[in-house]
Amino acid sequence: KQIIQMKRLYATLSQVNQTIVRVKDHADLYQSICDVSTKFGEFALAWIGILDTESGDIKPVAASGLDLAQWPFPQVNIHKGDLKNGLAATAMRTSKVVTSDDVAIDERTKQSQASIINYDYHSTAIVPFQLRGATIGILSLVSKEAELFKAQDEILLLKEMGGDISFALDNMQVEKQREQAVKEVIESEERFQKAFHSGPVGLA
């Protein structure tokens, strides 16, 4: 069982890395990661939540296995509410991978078990990721099998996955800033050219 799970995680990590190379947009990146996680990792649900720093809410922005438009789970807030000490909030606050052998009976998920039980979810891993050193979101991987994330090697793979997503986001930010700088230079040159050609003859 552990060998099979490791193979799934390796396959998921490989596909995530291929996605990182190919995708250049945040929304596409998040959705693609969720899609490959359910396809190659064979998870029942994969979703990504982004932290709203003002409210403390972790807002789902991409998912595979459930429809975001009909999201069945209560809102997670890292500062207040019944879920502030749950898996997602803890992973976000600590910037560490958090796992559960079985969310259906885990004390940390007690407040959301009424909705969880409808989907027969069990093992869960919450993988935080960062942008420029600050944790901004989490990837949640959910399985209908119990006790999947018990080996240290599995935790290391999940950490690597979070690190790779963080690396991709940092690169996207750098590229965005580079493109903005190039745009500003072009606009500045265009303004100069316009002023030069529309100015008095003596300017020449």
Q: Which pLDDT does position 21 carry in this prediction? A: 86
pLDDT at 69: 93
Q: How high is the pLDDT of residue 192?
A: 65
**What is the per-residue pLDDT for 3?**
86
- Cα 23 from Cα 17, distance rounded (Å): 10
- Tell me the residue type at 121: Y
* Per-residue pLDDT tens digits of the chain, which is 204 residues long: 778 888 999 999 999 999 988 888 899 999 999 999 999 999 999 999 999 999 999 999 999 999 999 999 999 999 999 999 999 999 999 999 999 999 999 999 988 888 888 899 999 999 999 999 999 999 999 999 999 998 899 999 999 999 999 999 999 888 776 656 666 566 666 666 676 666 555 444
Note the pLDDT of residue 180: 60
3-state percent helix, strand, coil for the chain, nearest multiple of 5: 55, 20, 30
Residues in the chain: 204
User: Tell me, what's the pLDDT at 76?
Assistant: 96
Cα–Cα distances (Å) from 187 to 15, 170, 192, 197, in that order, read: 39, 26, 9, 15
pLDDT at residue number 196: 63
> How many Å apart are CA 150 and CA 132, to the nearest integer?
30
